[in-house]
């Protein structure tokens, strides 16, 4: 996580997760509020959102929050979420015959960074969600050259998902920190999953502790 309040400017944090429905958007809201509280001007970017019927629900809620925290972040939803697809599926499927221009995604990131000090970027799905043929969400993270916050579930089976995602990030030499989102099976988490985490890791971080 970005810790130095005396940084120059224009750092980015990519919010990813072990899978879909783990809490990326919630995590984005947590980091936006935390960095604002710490004295940073925040921005938000979600390059791709699927399952969009009228407006991108996740992107719109985060843009409204960002504008309330940083009035200088004066952009519209189509600028913040440039690729919007109706089908709730992996981008490679949801895009159908449309193109996804990776260089455009990088260019848009640089444009948004000019409006803030810390840009929160929210991914779609998990790390191995395909965007293009042989190009996955984890590859986009690498191209964007950002730090990563990996959001992990508290539910049964989360240990496997967490370790696999961490291994993938390590194999690509991507700098990351990971946070457990206590939301599913949280009543049984301390008995089912926490004992392994305590023995295996030196430090355990909970997303809720950032609030």
Annotated binding residues = 21-26, 50, 122-125
Which element (helix H / strand E) includes 140? helix 137-144
Burial 106-141 (b: 16+ CB within 10 A, else e): eebbeebbebbbbbbbbbbbbbebebeeeebbbbbb
33 in active site: no
Among 41, 46, 95, 155, the one annotated catalytic: 46
Nearest by Cα to 84 from 120, 124, 112, 27: 124
Annotated binding-site ranges for ATP: 21-26, 122-125
Binding positions for Mg(2+) are: 25, 122
Element spanning 161, H or E: helix 158-171
Feature table: binding site for substrate = 50
Please list the active-site residues: 46
């Amino acid at each position: 996580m970005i810790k130095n309040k005396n940084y120059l400017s224009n750092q980015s944090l990519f919010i990813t997760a072990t899978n879909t429905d783990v809490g990326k958007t919630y995590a984005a809201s947590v980091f936006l509020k935390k960095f604002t509280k710490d004295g940073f001007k925040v921005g938000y970017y979600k390059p791709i959102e699927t399952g969009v019927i009228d407006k991108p629900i996740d992107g719109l809620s985060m843009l409204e929050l960002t504008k309330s925290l940083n009035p200088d972040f004066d952009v519209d939803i189509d600028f913040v979420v440039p690729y919007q697809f109706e089908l709730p599926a992996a981008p490679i499927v949801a895009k159908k015959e449309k193109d996804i221009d990776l260089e455009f995604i990088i260019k848009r990131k640089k444009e948004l960074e000019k409006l803030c000090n810390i840009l929160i970027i929210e991914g779609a799905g998990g790390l191995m969600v395909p965007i293009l043929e042989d190009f996955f969400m984890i590859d986009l993270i690498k191209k964007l050259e950002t730090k990563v916050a990996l959001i992990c579930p508290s539910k049964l089976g989360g240990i496997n998902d967490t370790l696999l995602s961490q291994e993938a990030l390590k194999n690509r030499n991507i700098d990351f920190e990971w946070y457990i989102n206590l939301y599913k099976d949280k009543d049984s988490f301390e008995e089912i999953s926490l004992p392994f985490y305590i023995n295996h890791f030196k430090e355990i971080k909970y997303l809720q502790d950032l609030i």
